Structure 1
Amino acid sequence: MATTGGALDAVVVGAGLAGLACAGDLLTAGLDVRLVEASDAVGGRMRSDRYEGFVIDRGFQVFNTSYPQVRRRLDLRALALRPFTPGVLIHTDRGRLRFSDPTRRPREAADLLPGRLAGTRDLLALGVLSARDMLAPAGVLKRGEERTTRSALAAAGLSEEFVERFFRPFLSGVFLEDELETSSRVFHLVWRSTLRGTLCLPTDGIGAVPRQLADALPAGTLRLESPVDRLTDDGVLLTTGTELAAKAVVVATGPGPAAALLPAAHIGPYRTTTTYYHTADTSPLAEPTLLTDERRRFLNTCVLSEVVPGYAPAGTALIATSVLGTDTPGREARLRTALAEAYATDASAWRLLTVRTIEDALPAMPPPHRLTTPAQLAPGRFVCGDHRATGSVQGALASGARAAREVLRELRP
């Protein structure tokens, strides 16, 4: 076993968003840090691949501009963000209905008139709920009574019919669960960010976000293709046999490797999602809008090439559709039938480009759910990731920031 020179201040294991944020903050504080990543690129689950001329994100992704950590750390202009329509389309037995933000697209809010998407009481209750979540300080929402999202929506005065038509299909795609069992505190914070921010994608794919964070690190900080075999008394041992000695080790990997390296982290279950990528000669929906299904045969679908034309070669449409769970025999055929109905088109000629299953797409967040969890597990041992906060870009970045603060507290009391 070969050991590097003098001990580092910290080794961060995993170059996803949490690890990048943690390493960046420690470097800013003047520590000697190494960031090691098992893969050939940064980003973890937030990566983009080039596949047959298409940009394929690892699972369906959206980027929200309202997150405080995003605004603090990223140059949004450099990402060349392309927005989704502020609202969603819902496929119902009565055809497609549009849920639009009337403050942003008042001319597209006709379906919010009473009697179409919802009744008068539901619309009033929705207005009160949205105004509270949008205008109240985030701290108020974090300290609110905790229950399931379903119970919170009922307590807000929303009818079961409206919840089943809009909120359940929409939030299934947000939380990757179908029963509205996610903590109401998480729901209120997510609804707040949705109302206050813009959902979009970077022109070069979602992987541009972690790449920008990585590009800001000093040369020599990041070591790719450097998987860690185990933690040692003095630091970490790479699978190559090289030991990196460090005063502190921060594990910022996905849940599986994190649990293997630090069993004391007690990481909870994650949700699995599968995204099917189809191509077509013409776009089945000439707008950059999410489409959900009242019957919940899929989580959501959209024409990615309408959001970012560069996701597909010229003259080709790229359609991404996500479902809960894994790919199973016959599932794509059933999904194609549902998509033909939802898009009101013939999907038989669509080509299945690729299928991506993400087993650890999002942590499960039923109540009681801690919105932030300490990073330190033992002297010199820390862990961070969205499983220590909320399943979001904000949660991952904030968890990395908290881990950095706790490392500094130990090394520089």
Structure 2
Amino acid sequence: MSGTGGACADVVVVGAGAAGLACAADLLAAGLSVRLLEADDTVGGRMRTDRIGGFTLDRGFQVFNTAYPQVKRRLDLKALRLRPFTPGVLAHTSDGPRRFGDPTRRPRHGGPLPAEGASVRDTVALGLLSARDMLAPVSWLRGRPDATTATALAEAGLSAGLVETFLRPFLSGVFLEDDLETSARFFHLVWRTMLRGTPCLPADGIGAVPAQLAARLPDGVLRTGARVAALTPDGVALAEGGGLSARTVVVATGQSAAARLLPGLRVPPGRTVTTLYHAVARSPLAEPTLVVDARRRFLNSCVLTELHPGYADDGRALVSTSVLGSPGPDATAAVEAALGEAYGADVADWEAVHRVTVRDALPAMPPPLALSRTSRFGPGRYVCGDHRATGSLQGALASGARAAREVLADLRAAPDAPAAAPPQP
């Protein structure tokens, strides 16, 4: 090796989030030598869990969906000790709480619309939309003309009342934007996975998912605490000095870091979300149900210890609440007041135990959205991540898998030199 020092590998993968872990695993399975570098002290990227003060705290509110194809392929679901959320939501409205649930899973929680005041038109329209998204071939959903989610809901015949009471507040927490400007193509795929899968969380927090993927890598592949300062002609340079040489480099970081390492790469804007954690002496809702606010003062809230009591060591309830952006002290107080209304509880004794703001938590996904983009950026340079596909665990894993396929194809076509791919910003 010249210039950067260290042993030469076939491929260096930069970033051990979901995309980088998937890419590295597939390249190793194909017989290549791989080094996976992670700047942080452990794997996962945005899928991280911290233990603070006896609480299990994900970095931002997380939901694990069992219907994702990549999840089924790569993970041992039983080992994660998953427990499900209630299949539905409670919407806090000016008229009080209204429940939207799935009667095929828990009939006592009502139908796909609240029993009181539900119009026949909305019942039929939402049923038809759901049936089509659940049963239609994925290729058909992918190939339809794209528009905003707001347009798609209106064209499906759903009333403004249903959209404002249920769909907008719920989907705002999925898309991390409250104008429903996200691609309808992505909405239909997400709706499909919600209907087909089970939203849940692992017993040890969402960080157990990338930890399981990393545990399957051979010794010597993964190196944490290794921040890549720049890509070099023969590999990567590390911020601590030295580096690694490789014929091929895959950048599998978040979009901001990817744009820094690959000048000229166009990345979508990122969505920022802040999650507040409160410890409460008594659970304000004795079920693992997502609560949303029709007035949109917060995105969603949930009593996490109703899924896993072990999320709080001291026996108290742990409430997670997410809001768009990064609210200041006054806004935080307003959120807590809104929580008191939504749960019908006195929040004066709720203890704020943690707060985490995640920047670039999701990429913006306006229409027309390409559900998958090539990883090829230039000769010997590739990029993957959810910002190259869809803002989801499925998108990140699928993008990593695509990068591995393209790297393998190019190396086999030109085994003695990096592929001379045209730049793909």
Report the Cα offset of residue 103 of structure 1.
1.0
| CA separation of 1:378 and 1:111: change in aligned 2, threshold 3 A | closer
Tell me the residue number matched to 1:279: 279
In 2, Cα distance between the equivalents of 1:384 and 1:20?
11
Amino acid at match of 2:248: A
Conservation of the 8 A alpha-carbon contact between 2:274 and 2:327: yes
Q: What's the counterpart of residue 134 of structure 1?
A: 134
Question: Partner of 1:382 in structure 2?
Answer: 382
Which residues of 2 match residues 266-305 of structure 1 at below 5 A?
Answer: 266-305=266-305
Q: Check conservation: 1:282, 1:315, Cα contact below 8 A.
A: no
Q: Is 1:114–1:123's contact at 8 Å kept on the other side of the alignment?
A: no
Does residue 329 of the first structure (1) align with residue 344 of the second (2)? no
State the AA in 2 paired with 1:155. Answer: E
Paired letter, 1:244: L
Give secondary structure in 1 for the equivalent of 2:105.
coil
Aligned to 1:71: 72
Give yes or no for contact 1:8–1:33 (8 Å, CA) kept in 2: yes
Counterpart-to-counterpart distance in 2, 1:382 and 1:200: 33
Shift of 1:92: 1.1
Deviations for 1:354-375, whole angstroms, at most 9, x for unmatched residues? 1100011000001121111000
1:58 aligns to 2:59 (yes or no):
yes
C-alpha distance 49-127 of structure 1, shift in aligned 2 (>3 A): same
Distance 2:288 2:333 in 1: 25
Residue 38 of structure 2 corresponds to 37
Residue 113 (structure 2) aligns with = 112
Letter of the 2:373 counterpart: T
Compared CA separation, residues 93 and 245, structure 1 to 2 (3 A): same
Partner of 2:233: 233
Find runs of 4+ consecutive structure 1 residues off by over 4 angstroms.
none
Does 1:3 find its partner at 2:5? yes
Shift of 1:102: 1.2
Per-residue deviation at 1:328? 1.1
Identity across matched positions, percent: 63
Question: Equivalent residues in 2 for 1:180-259 (5 A)?
Answer: 180-259=180-259
CA RMSD of aligned residues (A): 1.1
CA distance in 1, matches of 2:323, 2:376: 35
Write out per-residue CA displacement over residues 221-280 of structure 1, whole angstroms, 9 at most, x where no aligned residue: 000000011000000011122221101000001122111001232111010000010111
SS across alignment from 2:79: helix
Question: 1:220 corresponds to which letter in structure 2?
Answer: G
Aligned to 1:349: 349
Name the structure 2 match of 1:46: 47
Give 1:112 deviation, angstroms. Answer: 3.2
The C-alpha deviation readout for 1:184-212, integer Å capped at 9, x for no partner, is 00000000000000000000000000000
Is 1:90 aligned to 2:91, yes or no?
Answer: yes
Match of 1:306 in 2: 306
Alpha-carbon contact 2:55-2:313 (below 8 Å) kept: yes
Unaligned runs of 5+ in 1: none
Tell me how far apart the structure 2 counterparts of residues 371 and 196 of structure 1 sit (CA, whole Å): 19
Q: Is the 8 A contact 2:103 2:112 kept in 1?
A: no
Q: Distance in 1 between matches of 2:314 and 2:228?
A: 42
> Does the Cα contact within 8 Å between 2:149 and 2:184 map onto a contact in 1?
yes
Contact 2:309–2:315 (Cα < 8 Å) also in 1:
no
Matched, 1:338 2:338: yes
CA distance in 1, matches of 2:111, 2:401: 43
Distance 2:177 2:272 in 1: 9
Distance 2:105 2:356 in 1: 33
**TM-score, normalisation: structure 2:** 0.95
Report the CA distance between 1:313 and its aligned residue: 1.7
Q: Distance in 1 between matches of 2:332 and 2:312?
A: 21
Secondary structure, aligned partner of 2:298: coil
Q: Give the whole-Å Cα distance in 1 for the aligned partners of 2:114 and 2:266.
A: 48
Farther off after superposition, 324-333 or 123-132: 324-333
Is 2:166 aligned against 1:166? yes
Partner letter of residue 341 of structure 2? E
Task: Letter of the 1:139 partner, please give it.
Answer: S
Q: Rate the CA distance shift 1:216–1:111 in 2: closer, same or farther, 3 A.
A: closer
Q: Helix, strand or coil for the counterpart of 2:329? A: coil
Is the CA contact (8 Å cut-off) linking 1:227 and 1:239 kept in structure 2? yes
Larger deviation, residues 103-112 vs 44-53 = 103-112
Q: Cα–Cα, structure 1 residues 114 and 124, in superposed 2: closer, same or farther, change >3 Å?
A: farther
Tell me what 1:318 maps to. 318
Count of equivalent residues: 411
Displacement after TM superposition at 1:121 (Å)? 0.2
2: CA distance, partners of 1:241 / 1:107: 61
In the alignment, residue 27 of structure 1 is paired with which amino acid?
L
Q: CA deviation at 1:113?
A: 5.8
Structure 2 stretches of 5 or more lacking a match?
A: 414-425
